[in-house]
Structures are given as C-alpha cells and as structure tokens.
Amino acid sequence: MRILLAFHNAYTDSTSGAARATRTLMEWLREAGHECAALGTARFETTPPDDLDAHLSALGVPLNRQPPPERFGKYVKGRGGRGRGRETIGFTLNGVPVTMLMTQHNRQAKPNRLEYEQFFYHFDMACAAMRPDLLITYGGHSVVQEAMRRAQSQGITTLFWLHIQGHEDKRYFKHADYALAPSSYLARHYEKAVEIECADLPPPLHYGEILAPAENRTFVTFVNPAPHKGIALFARLADMLGSARPDIPILVVQSAADATMLNSVPGIDFAKYPQILASPRVPRPADFFELTRILLVPSLFEEPFGMVAAEALINGIPALVSDRGGLPDTVGDAGTVLPLPDWLKLDTNRVVDIEDAQPWFDAVCRLWDDPDAYAAAAKAREVAARLYDEQTLRQRYLDYIEGLCPELYLPSADEEFQDLD
C-alpha cells in the first residue's frame, strides 16, 4: 500500500501531540511494509525552534536542501509587491522520506498564496511519482481540504484525521472518504455536529519516547501553563501547596510560546516559592516523566483526548484530571477525575477561589502522604496495558488503515480458486 501524508504542519514538531502521533503512525506503517512519504511545512504548533537549522541538524540524518523551482523564484503579488519562493528540505527520518516546505514559521490566519501554490506543486509531483493509494491529512488550514479534493479527483482514498474540535462545518469533510478521531468522545462530537461517520482509535503512542525511569520521581508536574490547559486552577493550587506544603516540589513544563505565562497570573507571586520550578520544553515526554510523581491535567476546554494523561498511566504515574471533554475516558478507572467550577471557562479572567481548588489540594496531599493510596493509584499501568498497549495499538491501526483500501487486499483469481483443482 502506498501512503502519502500531506499537511500544513512540521513533521518534526516534538511539542505537538498530533505531530508526534502522526510521526509514530507513519513509522508503524513503514515497518509493516507499506510505502510511506510525508509532505509538510515548517509550521510548528506553538513557537518554532530558536534555530531551525539546529533543530533539523539534530535529527542526525542527511538534509537535502533545494531552492524553489524557477517558476517560484520570484513572484509578483497584488500591486507590484515581490515575494520569493520557499526552499524545501528533504530528509528520511526512521525510514520515512519527508519533504518540508520552509513556510513562514507562525500561525497564519490566511494562507499565503505563494506558499499555497508551491505546496501543491510539490503535492502534485509527489502524487505523480508515488501514485498513492491513501492520503492522510489533518488540520484546519485550507491546504488540507484542497489536498483531499485533488486526491479524490485522482481516485486516491482520503482520511481526515481529527485531533481537535473546530471542524464543525460539513465543508471540512466534503472530500474526506473517512474520518478518524482519537477518542469516542470526539467521534461522538463530530457525528452529532456534522452528521458523519467517524471511527475512533487512541493516538499512536511511541513507548520509546514515553517510558521513563522511576528513581527520581519527586515532583507534582503541570505541563503547558496556558489558559486552556487550566493555569487559573493550577495557579491557585500551586499557591496553596506553596504556603501549606512547601515539602511538595512542583515542576511546570513550559513551551517557548508560554514561557512568561506562569508569572502573568494576577494575584499570585510564584517567586516566593523556591520549590516551584519551571522547565523549558523538552523533546520527549520521558524527559519530564522521569521527574514526575503526580501529574496535573486541569484542562478547561473539552479535551479531545488527554495524551499526557495517557502517557502518565503508561509510566504508572497517578494523573489528576479535570472532568472536561474526553479526559475521564482517557484515564478510565485508573486516574482521579476532579471537578472544575461551572463558571470557569476559557474567557474567564480570574484565578479560582480556594474552595474550588480544595479537591485538587486534598487529592495531591493524599497521594503524597499515603503510600497505600499511591500504590493503589499505581494500577495505572494495568489500565494503560489494557487501553494503550503499543503492540495492540499498532495492530489496530494496521487493520484500520488497510481496511480503508480493501480492494488492494482482494485475492487474485488464481489465489481464490487455486484450491478447486
């Protein structure tokens, strides 16, 4: 089976759960004998690396840099303005050949016309050379729908992989033969919102990037201090722990996009608590899980799937999660689901009250102080083995992907009737 991934994101983005899941799936498919290739851009979910060349060089693979085709060398925009075509960088990562179009490294509200045309120049070239059976794509950028339209016009099956909410318009699915979500929660959401059939599978999880040693697990960890991830709840909880339980160290794993977010919370001065430490973004979840004793996931928005919570379960780390979206389904009966006040929404601009954070404070202290309670929470590994076993997930994905193009696996006439002689 020939499979092309085409999307408006960086294939090498380590801070994006969707990008990591996509990379893992492509590697699984290649290892199963399928021919795979990826076409992406230099768009990172948060902020691009400070040095993109260093980021790419760190991959440890040869890079093939190509200037834009002559037709894109210079481009006249609008009323005489000039633009230039973008360089492409080709490399093979874990057996998957990747073409990265060096688009502007930010979240473009509107597609850049030059980049859009150059992306589809490379897309058409890839389709002509590879003749894929299946196109996989995701995201809300306009290149996603156009890629599916072009693929369908050539008889290529299209899979629209839904990682988030935000596609509640049937036009997103006009050229999608199949839709896939990471949880039953998100699949139900889209089945109701746009009346489509949507399969669900947990995201591919690469245990090599997740599993961490347990010897140095000493922190209560909060990942990505952003408003939608629950910084309003965390800020109050950290203040309560900092005052009443200075023996409990807290680790905040930040990204470049939110490095100043923590100290911008009104009314909370984290500088007075030396036991609260901040970490820059890291390339692998294992890098912070090896320091994590308890994980906090107080998300305010309807999480489609709590990847970091699932990764904690795999490591046998208790996860305290909010009752929003798919988080309760993610942790099953292994995690602790805690309430958030109904008034606490994404557009709320205040820290929660002590009363609202009290259940979280009590849960942290109970796990920290009571060895039996912590040991009971360690059944997380058993649940993770049932829900997220890597080999089981790998086979489920292979069965699903191969089932999208069943005609490729029909027996030939000779094979079908060979036993009749």
| Per-residue 3-state assignment (H helix, E strand, C coil) for 268-282 | CCHHHCCCEEEECCC
Q: Are both 8 and 119 inside the same structural domain? A: yes
Q: Are both 80 and 187 inside the same structural domain? A: yes
The 10s digit of each residue's pLDDT in 302-349 is 999 999 999 999 999 999 999 999 999 999 888 899 999 999 988 877
Looking at every residue in the chain, the average pLDDT score rounds to 88
Within 10 Å of residue 248's Cβ, how many Cβ atoms?
20
**255 Cβ partners below 8 Å, 6+ apart?**
15, 46, 47, 224, 280, 281
What are the angstrom distances between the C-alpha of 153 and each of 30, 116, 255? Answer: 25, 19, 40
Q: Are both 159 and 267 inside the same structural domain? A: no
pLDDT for 256 beyond 50: no
CATH code for position 19: 3.40.50.2000
The 10s digit of each residue's pLDDT in 38-97 is 999 999 887 778 788 898 999 999 999 998 888 886 544 443 344 578 899 999 999 999
Number of compact structural domains in the chain: 2
DSSP letter, residue 267: T
pTM of the model: 0.88
Q: Are both 189 and 238 inside the same structural domain? A: no
Q: Are both 154 and 269 inside the same structural domain? A: no
Q: Are both 100 and 176 inside the same structural domain? A: yes
Percent of the chain scoring above 70 in pLDDT: 89
Chain centroid to CA 404: 23
Q: Are both 177 and 249 inside the same structural domain? A: no
Candidates 300, 378, 278, 287; CA nearest to 336 is 378
**Residue 342 in domain:** yes
Q: Are both 178 and 81 inside the same structural domain? A: yes
**Residue 294 in domain:** yes
**Residue 337 in domain:** yes
What are the angstrom distances between the C-alpha of 332 and each of 68, 371, 379, 381? Answer: 49, 22, 11, 12
pLDDT for 101 beyond 60: yes
Q: Are both 177 and 326 inside the same structural domain? A: no
Residue span of the structural domain in which 186 resides? 2-204
- The rounded distance, in Å, linking the Cα atoms of 368 and 247 is 10
Q: Are both 77 and 93 inside the same structural domain? A: yes
**Residue 390 in domain:** no
The answer to whether 46 and 80 are in contact (CB under 8 A) is: no
Element (H, E) at 6: strand 2-6
Q: Are both 290 and 183 inside the same structural domain? A: no
The 10s digit of each residue's pLDDT in 110-134 is 567 888 899 999 999 999 999 999 9
Mean pLDDT of 185-200: 95
Q: Are both 98 and 223 inside the same structural domain? A: no
